[in-house]
């Protein structure tokens, strides 16, 4: 059942083997790598991750809040929206980034 969910999910995140994010959205090829890394970071933190922490993970030497916010917005645009019109990349009540239920991670399917 879960492997079917992986095949039919709106957004598929692969962390086992070659990392990959599959979604219908278009992405600038020059930004694909950083956005893939950002998507994986969020997907592997189902309890949510604060944008500042994500920024530290992506840019250990530092990045401005504007750079992090821009990356989050590009990621949100790339991942798109579910059938109800909600973004796949969401914020919880405390401002943490979380993936919506239309995002399936291969790690979750196989464990």
Q: What is the pLDDT of residue 108?
A: 84
Alpha-carbon separation of residue 36 from 2, 14, 31, 42 (angstroms): 22, 10, 8, 10
How many domains, in total, are found in the chain?
Answer: 1
**Domain range enclosing 44:** 2-110
pLDDT above 90 (res 65) = yes
Q: Give the predicted TM-score (pTM) of the model.
A: 0.92
CATH number at residue 21: 1.10.10.10
Q: What share of the chain in percent tops pLDDT 70?
A: 95
What pLDDT does 1 receive? 45
pLDDT at 66: 97
**What is residue 4's predicted lDDT score, i.e. its pLDDT?**
67
Reported as a single tens digit per residue, the pLDDT across 17-49 is 999 999 999 999 999 999 999 999 999 999 999
Per-residue confidence (pLDDT) for residue 93, from 0 to 100: 96
| Partner residues linked to 105 by β-bridges | 13
Q: What is the mean pLDDT of the chain?
A: 93
């Amino acid at each position: 059942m879960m492997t079917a969910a992986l095949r039919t999910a709106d957004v598929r995140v692969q962390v086992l083997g070659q990392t990959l994010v599959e979604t219908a959205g278009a992405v600038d090829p020059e930004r694909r790598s950083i956005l893939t890394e950002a998507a994986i970071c969020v997907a592997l933190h189902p309890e949510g991750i604060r944008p500042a922490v994500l920024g530290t993970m992506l840019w250990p030497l530092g990045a401005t809040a504007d750079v992090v916010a821009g990356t989050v917005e590009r990621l949100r645009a790339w991942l798109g929206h579910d059938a109800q019109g909600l973004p796949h990349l969401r914020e919880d009540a405390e401002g943490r980034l979380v993936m919506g239920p239309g995002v399936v991670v291969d790690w979750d399917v196989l464990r």
